[in-house]
Amino acid sequence: MSGALLLNPEQADRHARVIFYLDNSNQIVFTDRRRLGALWLVENEQPIIGKLGPEPLNPEFKSDILVKRLQKHKAPIKAVLLDQALIAGIGNMYADEALFAARIHPLRKTNSLSPQEIESLHKAIIDVLQSAINSRGASVDTYKRPKGELGTAHSNFCVAHRGGKPCPVCSAPIQRLAIRNRGSYFCPNCQKP
């Protein structure tokens, strides 16, 4: 995930993609240097939202829903976690953190995961996202809070964006590999293939 929604930024932003001029004279600026964001203007949001998978922090998102959704897929679990049509809202860094917390290698074939592993992953996804919200997001890249402050979730990261640094559990150097063009960080010792 990249980009940010800023409220009344003091300086012009050359990466501003959309500026909303509100009736109360506030401005909301969508800034997105990496151009990964998307915006729809629709009268009926269902055709857009209907394509998204379940929201992990919804109380109805139980581990059996995740088991059912994952068991048909052969692709690497890291790629599947980023598929917003399967589960909504898991960004690249949070997928790395959840896989580390569940001790699952990012290249594991999704349909090779046991129900117990998916149960651990289910818990890890919720914990990682909730903790990131509590820390107001991660500002390793371009993300900022609406008034320009940085989030602090990245200071708790175990593997994401920590290539070469020691694993907090076993001290092995964190490795990085590209999976479907997204950088993926993992501990080669804690997350066996």
Return the residue of 6, 86, 179, 187 that touches Zn ion, per CB under 5 A. 187
- Number of Cα atoms under 13 Å in the Cβ half of residue 21: 0
166 in contact with Zn ion (CB under 5 A): no
192 in contact with Zn ion (CB under 5 A): no
Beta strands in 135-189 (DSSP E): 175-179, 182-186
Return the residue of 170, 173, 180, 192 that touches Zn ion, per CB under 5 A. 170
| Distance in Å, CB of 160 to Zn ion, minimum | 14
| Distance in Å, CB of 78 to Zn ion, minimum | 17
Query: Which amino acid type is present at position 94?
Result: Y
Using CA atoms, how far residue 16 sits from 1, 26, 35, 149, in Å, is 16, 15, 10, 17
User: Which CB, 18 or 172, lies closer to Zn ion?
Assistant: 172
* Distance of alpha carbon 157 from alpha carbon 97, whole angstroms: 7
| Distance in Å, CB of 169 to Zn ion, minimum | 4
Sole window of 29-37, 51-59, 135-143, 168-176 interacting with Zn ion (rule: CB under 5 A): 168-176
Sole window of 9-17, 63-71, 167-175, 177-185 interacting with Zn ion (rule: CB under 5 A): 167-175
Return the residue of 6, 129, 167, 179 that touches Zn ion, per CB under 5 A. 167
First to last CA, the chain: 26
Sole window of 14-22, 55-63, 158-166, 179-187 interacting with Zn ion (rule: CB under 5 A): 179-187
Hey, how many other C-beta atoms are within 10 angstroms of the C-beta on 111? 13
- The answer to whether the CB of 125 falls within 8 A of the CB of 90 is yes
Structure token pair of residue 27: 């401005």
* Distance of alpha carbon 76 from alpha carbon 112, whole angstroms: 10
Binding site for Zn ion (CB under 5 A): 167, 169-170, 172, 187, 189-190
